[in-house]
């Protein structure tokens, strides 16, 4: 399986310009013979309507100071996973979390902390050699549902989903996905779209969420 290259911005090599290529090295790993039905769920058309219209009026929320992410919880799809802090691999790409642990997510520790102003990014595998992994159900997340990110400072940043989309890996809109909106936002990303043994998954599922409270 070759290296995936997604979302690259040729004019600069910022972490968010290369993150989509990352995870995504080695994520499409459905084991031969493992029955996963029709594959992971994909976002419904309705899930992306708000993104297309940009009709929402976000309520300003005071950003949090930097603190490392500890876990990610998505109650609607029964995700409750520890977060490993990932860095860059030998080629300069953000590393994916260890694929052998199916319940593990990754957060780039040199990027935006969940709850800070800007766009924090959490990645995870959709499957591994044994079958479904932590973000297998990510494509079924709906607008209005919550993503909770406990931090090592004891606070929990709670984000509300306002869009879910699947993007082609060959035309990944990095600027749109990782843009700083001026508020604390979160993107949760895994592989999605069509799948082939030769090329793996041909897209990325991206959940767009904004912080709505801190507990």
**Torsion over CA: 152, 128, 39, 17 (sign):** positive
Distance, CA of 192 to CA of 189 (rounded, Å): 9
- How many residues belong to the chain? 215
Distance, CA of 109 to CA of 19 (rounded, Å): 12
DSSP-derived secondary structure letter, 126: S
Residue located via tokens 């801190």: 214
**All domains of the chain in start order, with CATH:** 15-214 (2.40.260.10)
DSSP per-residue string spanning 135-181:
TTTGGG--TT-EEEEEBTTS-EEEEEEEEEEEEEGGG--HHHHH---
Query: For the whole prediction, is pTM greater than 0.85?
Result: no
Q: Greater confidence, 86 or 78? A: 78
Which is nearest to 164 in space by CA: 73, 41, 56?
Answer: 41
pLDDT at 94: 61
Distance, CA of 115 to CA of 212 (rounded, Å): 10
pLDDT at 194: 86
Q: Greater confidence, 28 or 87? A: 87
pLDDT one-digit tens code per residue, 35-68: 444 578 777 654 554 554 444 555 678 999 999 9
pLDDT one-digit tens code per residue, 14-29: 444 444 444 443 333 3
8 Å CB contact between 105 and 84: yes
For residue 75, the Cα-to-chain-centroid distance in whole angstroms is 16
- Which residues face 213 on adjacent strands? 158
pLDDT at 56: 54
pLDDT at 51: 56
């Amino acid at each position: 399986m070759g290296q995936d290259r997604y979302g690259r911005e040729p004019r600069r090599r910022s972490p968010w310009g290369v993150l989509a290529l990352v995870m995504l090295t080695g994520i499409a790993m459905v084991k031969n013979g493992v029955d996963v039905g029709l594959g992971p769920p994909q976002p419904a058309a309705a899930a992306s309507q708000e993104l297309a219209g940009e009709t929402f009026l976000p309520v300003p929320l005071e950003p949090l100071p930097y603190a490392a992410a500890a876990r990610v919880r998505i109650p609607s799809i029964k995700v409750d996973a520890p977060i490993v802090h990932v860095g860059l691999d030998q080629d300069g790409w953000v590393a994916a979390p260890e694929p052998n642990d199916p319940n593990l997510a990754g957060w780039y520790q040199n990027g935006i902390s969940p709850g800070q102003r800007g766009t924090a990014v959490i990645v995870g595998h959709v499957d591994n050699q044994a079958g479904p992994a932590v973000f297998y159900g990510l494509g079924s997340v709906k607008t209005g549902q919550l993503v909770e990110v406990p931090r090592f400072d004891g606070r929990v940043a709670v984000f509300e989903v306002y869009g879910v989309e699947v993007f082609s890996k060959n035309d990944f809109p990095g600027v749109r996905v990782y843009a700083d909106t001026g508020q604390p936002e979160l993107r949760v990303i895994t592989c999605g779209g069509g799948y082939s043994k030769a090329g793996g998954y041909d897209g990325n599922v991206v959940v767009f969420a904004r912080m709505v409270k801190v507990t």
